[in-house]
Structure 1
Amino acid sequence: MTPRIPLRIARSPVLTSRFPLAENPQASPSSEQPLVAHLLELRDRVLRMVLVVLAIFLVLFPFANDLYIMVSEPLRSALPEGSTMISTKPIDPFLIPFKLSLQMAVFLAIPFILHQFWAFVAPGLYKHEKRLVIPLLVSSTLLFYLGVAFAYFIVFPLVFAFLTSTAPEGIEMATDMGSYLDFVITLFFAFGIAFEVPIATIILVWMGVTTPESLRSKRPYIIVGAFVVGMFLTPPDIISQTLLALPMWVLFEIGVFFSANFVRKREDDSEDAGVEPAMATATAGSSSATPAPEPPMGSEIDPAIDYVDPDRFVPLSDDEMEAQLDAIEDEEDEDDGPSVEERFRQVQISRDVGDVEQARELLYEILEEGNADQRRVARNILAQLDTP
C-alpha cells in the first residue's frame, strides 16, 4: 500500500473564506496569552490601588498628629483630670501617627479599591449579576463606614467611660499610645465588618446556600451567635458586647427582609420569562409566515438549512419519524450522485492510495452539500491534509 504523502497545496481564496480551516493547536505558540493578559491587567490595577493609597497617605501625613489627637479624643475625654496618655518607646511619638496616617489612607481608598476589583471581574459576569453586584458594592462600602462611625461616636465614649470608672482606687490610668491605636483599629474593623451582615445575608440567599425562611427559623441561634461574636471582638465588658450584638441582630433582620424581596422579584421574573415561550408555542400555527430568528454571532449554524426555532419545535411521533426516515432514504436512492457518507468513504480510499487532490475535491463537495456536523468533519480532514 502506498504511504500517505502530506502535501501543502494552495487553496482557492473563495473556498478559504467560505470554509476556513480548523486551527492547528501546535501552531499557536502563545496559547497562554489570555492568562498572561489577565495577570498583566491585575498587576496594573493593583499598582493603581497602591498609588492611590500612597497619594492619600502623602496628603494625610502632615496632619498625622492632628489625626491621632482626633482618634484619641474619646479616651482622653474619659480620663480623670490630670491623667494623660503616655509613650513607652522613644520612636512611638513619630511611628504611631505615621501608622495611623497609613491606615486612614487605606480606609479612605476602600471605594477606589473595590471599584478596581469590580472592573477586573465585571467582564466575566452576566448582565443580571452586574445589576446585583454594583448595589452590593456601594451598600457594603457605606455600611463599613457606618460601622466605623458607630464605633467612634457611640461605642467609644460609653466603653471608655465604663473602663475608666472601674479602675481600682489608687491606680492611675495611663494608656500607651501604641496600645490604644491597636485597640481602636481592631474595634473599627470589628464594627465595620459586623455592619456587613445584610450584605452577607443577601449573598447567601442569592447563591442558593440558604433561604429567608430558613434564616427566620434560625433567629434564636443568630441572636446568641451575635452576642458570642461581640464577646470575642470587643473588650470584656457587657456594654461594648451589647453595642455590637444588637446592631448585628438588627442588620440581620434587614438583610432577611431585603433578601426575601430579592427572591420574590427573581421568581416573578422567572414566571414572566416562562410565559413567553408558552405563548410563542401556542401561536406557532397562526404565525407560520414568521421568519426564523437569526442564530448567535460566531455560530456555524446555517440559518437556511440547520437552524430550527426551539419555540416552534413540535416533537414527531414514532410513526411520523419512521415516515420521515423512509422519505430521506428514498431521496438518497433517487439521487444521481453519491451520498455524503459515500463521499467520506471515497475520501478515506483516496488518502490511502495517496491521491490527495481527489480527496480535497470530495471534501469541498461535502462542505457544499453536507450538514453542520459533516462540514465540521470535512474541515478537520482538510486541516490534517494541510498539516506537514
Structure 2
Amino acid sequence: MADTPTQEDELAGTEQPFVQHLMELRDRLVKAIIAIAVAAAFLFFFPGPGPLYDFLAAPLVAHLPKGATLIATSVISPFMVPLKILLMSAFLLALPFVLWQVWAFVAPGLYSHEKKLVLPLVVSSTVLFFIGVAFCYYFVFGQVFAFIQSFAPKSITAAPDIEAYLSFVLSMFLAFGLAFEVPIAVVVLARMGVVSIEKLKNFRGYFIVIAFVIAAIVTPPDVVSQLALAVPMCILYEIGIWAAQLFIKHTKAPNAAEEETASS
C-alpha cells in the first residue's frame, strides 16, 4: 500500500553538504551582526548614548536626595558605560531579527509538527523576556530604590558609581528576564517527555519554595523586590502547565496523532 502524504519524510531532498551549512550559518551570523550594527548606529544618533544612560538611571535618580547625582570613579567610565548601554540596547532592538535568522537556519531541518512547536516558543520566549525586563524597570526598581534610601542615614549623601549601577541593573534585568521564561521551561520539559503534566502539578509546592529561595538570592534584601520576583514566577509556573497541555496536544507528529485517534 502506498504511503500517504502525511507518512512521507518531510525532509526528503533537503539534505545539504556540511560546508553548505557552514556557509549559510556564516551568512546568517553576518546578517545578525549587521542588524545590531545598524541598530547601534541609529541609537547613537537618536537618542544617543548619554540620554540612554539617563533613561536607565532615571529610577535611581528619582529616589536620590535632592541635588545628588551618580559619580564616575574611573577616568574612562563616562565614555565606556554609555557605550556599553548603547550596545546592549542595540542588541535588544535587533533581537527579533537575530532570532529570525536563527529560526531561518534551523527551520529547514525540522518536521512540520516540530515547526509548530519551535516558532511559537521563540516568539513567546522573546516577548516574555522583554516583559520581565520592563516589569523590573518600571515597577521593581522604584520599590527597591525607595526602600534602600529610606534606610540611609541623613548624614550620608548617596552618590552611586555608574559602573556599579550598570552591573546591578544588568544582573536584575537578567534575573527578571530569565524568571519570566518559566512557562517556556515548563513547556519544553513536558513536550520532550522529561516530566509529565501530573508530576508538574505535584511539584507545584516545591516550586513555590524554590521561587522564594531564588528571589532571596538574586534580589536586594527587601520584601517588595523578593515578592515581585517570586510571585510572578509562581503564577508563570501555573501558566506553563496550562500551556504545556495545549502544546502537547497540538504539536504531535502526524503518525502519533493518527495512532491516538485510532486507539480512542
Q: TM-score, normalised by structure 2?
A: 0.87
For residue 151 of structure 2, what is the amino acid of its counterpart?
Answer: T
Match of 2:140 in 1: 155
Structure 2 counterpart SS, 1:161: helix
Q: Which residue of 1 aligns with 2:231?
A: 246
Q: CA deviation at 1:199?
A: 0.9
Q: Is 1:83 paired with 2:68? A: yes
Gaps of 5+ in 2: 1-15
Tell me, what secondary structure is at the counterpart of 2:17? helix
| Alignment deviations for residues 37-90 of structure 1 (CA, whole Å, 9 cap, x no partner) | 111111111111111111111111231111111110000001111221111112
User: Which residue number in structure 2 is paired with residue 12 of structure 1?
Assistant: none
1:51 aligns with 2:34: yes
Kindly state the Cα deviation for residue 271 of structure 1 after the two structures are TM-superposed.
Answer: 7.8
- CA RMSD, 1 decimal: 2.1
Question: What amino acid sits opposite 1:201 in the alignment?
Answer: V
- Could you tell me which of 106, 121, 138 is aligned with 2:106? 121
How is 1:37-48 mapped onto 2 (pairs within 5 angstroms)? Answer: 37-48=20-31
Structure-1 residue corresponding to 2:5: none
Q: Deviations over 1:142-163 (max 9, x none)?
A: 1111111100101010001011
> What residue number does 1:192 align with?
177
Match of 1:36 among 13, 16, 19: 19
Match of 1:16 in 2: none
Q: Which residue of 1 aligns with 2:90?
A: 105
Alignment of 1:112-261 (within 5 A): 112-261=97-246
Distance across 2 between alignment mates of 1:173 and 1:275: 65
Q: 2: distance between equivalents of 1:236 and 1:48? A: 43
Q: How does 1:61-76 map to 2 (within 5 A)?
A: 61-62=44-45, 63-76=48-61
Q: 1:273-284 alignment to 2 at 5 Å?
A: 273-274=258-259
- By how many angstroms is 1:176 displaced? 0.6
After TM superposition, give the deviation of residue 169 of structure 1 in Å: 3.6
Query: How far does residue 232 in structure 1 lie from its aligned partner after superposition?
Result: 2.3
Q: Matches of 2:42 and 2:257 in 1, distance apart?
A: 53
Report the residue type matching 2:41 in the other structure.
L
What is the aligned partner in structure 1 of residue 247 from structure 2? 262
Aligned to 1:96: 81
Shift of 1:262: 3.0
Question: What does the per-residue CA deviation read over 1:81-135, in whole Å, with 9 as the maximum and x for residues that have no partner?
Answer: 1221111112211211111000111111111111111111111111000011111
How far has the Cα of 1:168 moved from its partner? 2.7
Question: Residue 187 of structure 1: CA displacement?
Answer: 0.9
**What amino acid is the match of 1:54?**
A
Q: CA deviation at 1:242?
A: 1.4
Task: Give the Cα separation in 1 of the matches to 2:177 and 2:79.
Answer: 27
CA contact (8 A) 2:114 2:251 kept: no
Does structure 1 conserve the Cα–Cα contact (< 8 Å) formed by 2:187 and 2:243?
yes
* Structure with the greater alpha carbon radius of gyration: 1
Per-residue CA deviation, residues 333-367 of structure 1 (Å, 9 max, x unaligned), is: xxxxxxxxxxxxxxxxxxxxxxxxxxxxxxxxxxx
Between the aligned residues of both structures, percent identity stands at 48
TM (norm. structure 1) is 0.60
| Conserved 8 A contact 2:117-2:247 | no
Per-residue deviation, 1:275: 7.6
**Partner SS for 2:62:** helix
> For the residues of structure 1 that align with 2:250 and 2:78, how far apart are their CA atoms?
55
Paired residue type of 1:51: I
Q: In structure 2, the residue corresponding to 1:109 is in which secondary structure?
A: helix
CA displacement at 1:255 relative to structure 2: 0.4
